[in-house]
């Protein structure tokens, strides 16, 4: 089964991952996010060079391009970051809905936006799809938009795409935690707390 109602589920083994109350894990996740920001900037820069030809002359092209934007564009940039965060969680929510048939919950806690399905257990492989969907979707959308906008405005797409990828660190963490778990592993996710369960 793709998903099981929480009230109907029974498992012998459970692992609780709480990204808010576990301060050590929360710190590790945030440090990893900064490192991933550098990693994805490098990877995406070289991947985008054939698309944004003007960027080929400078590794820091997107920072310079952002700096050279007319006054007021910093507010547009912040708005785009907000839209990206909403889109990220909306994509999680869409896949929660597709796999459970129930409306997901959304919220914001300790600088973390989240989506969840607290009344359901979702099977491992489908949960991995839920966790990875925003990274894949927003990255592909970002690169598509780089084809369509002038190079001078490319920082408004490129940098949010990098920020989203770095912000997917929690999604990558969950995916890595599930890789060695049994096939019949199920996960319930309230948004900030996930319980990995199996027999």
Q: Going residue by residue through the chain (199 aa), what tens digit of pLDDT does each one get?
A: 899 999 898 898 899 988 778 888 888 988 999 999 999 999 999 999 999 989 888 999 999 999 999 988 999 999 999 999 999 999 999 999 999 999 999 988 766 788 999 999 999 999 999 999 999 999 999 999 999 999 899 999 999 999 999 999 999 999 999 999 999 999 999 988 899 999 8
**Stated pTM of the model:** 0.93
Q: Exposed e or buried b for every residue in 63-95, given b needs 16+ CB within 10 A?
A: eebbeeeeeeeeeebeebbeebbebbbebbbbb
Measured in degrees and rounded to the nearest 5, phi and psi for residue 38 equal -65, -45
Q: Do 155 and 66 touch, CB atoms closer than 8 A?
A: yes
Look-up: residue for tokens 């995916």? 175
């Amino acid at each position: 089964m793709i998903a099981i109602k929480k009230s109907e589920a029974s498992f012998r083994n459970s692992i609780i991952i709480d990204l808010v109350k576990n301060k050590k894990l929360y710190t590790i996740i945030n440090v990893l996010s900064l490192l991933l920001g550098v990693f994805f900037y490098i990877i995406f820069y070289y991947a985008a060079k054939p698309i944004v030809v003007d960027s080929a002359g400078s590794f820091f092209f997107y920072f310079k391009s952002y700096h050279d934007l007319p006054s007021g564009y910093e507010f547009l940039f912040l708005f785009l970051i907000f839209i990206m965060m909403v889109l990220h969680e909306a994509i999680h929510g869409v896949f929660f809905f597709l796999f459970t048939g129930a409306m997901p919950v959304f919220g914001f806690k300790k600088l973390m936006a989240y989506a969840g399905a607290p009344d359901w257990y979702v099977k491992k492989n489908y949960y991995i799809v839920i966790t990875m969907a925003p990274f894949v979707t927003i990255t592909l959308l970002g690169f598509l938009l780089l084809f369509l906008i002038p190079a001078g405005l490319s920082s408004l797409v490129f940098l949010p795409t990098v920020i989203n990828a770095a912000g997917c660190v929690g999604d990558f963490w969950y995916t890595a935690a599930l890789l060695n778990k049994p096939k019949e592993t199920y996960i319930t996710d309230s948004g900030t707390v996930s319980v990995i369960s199996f027999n």
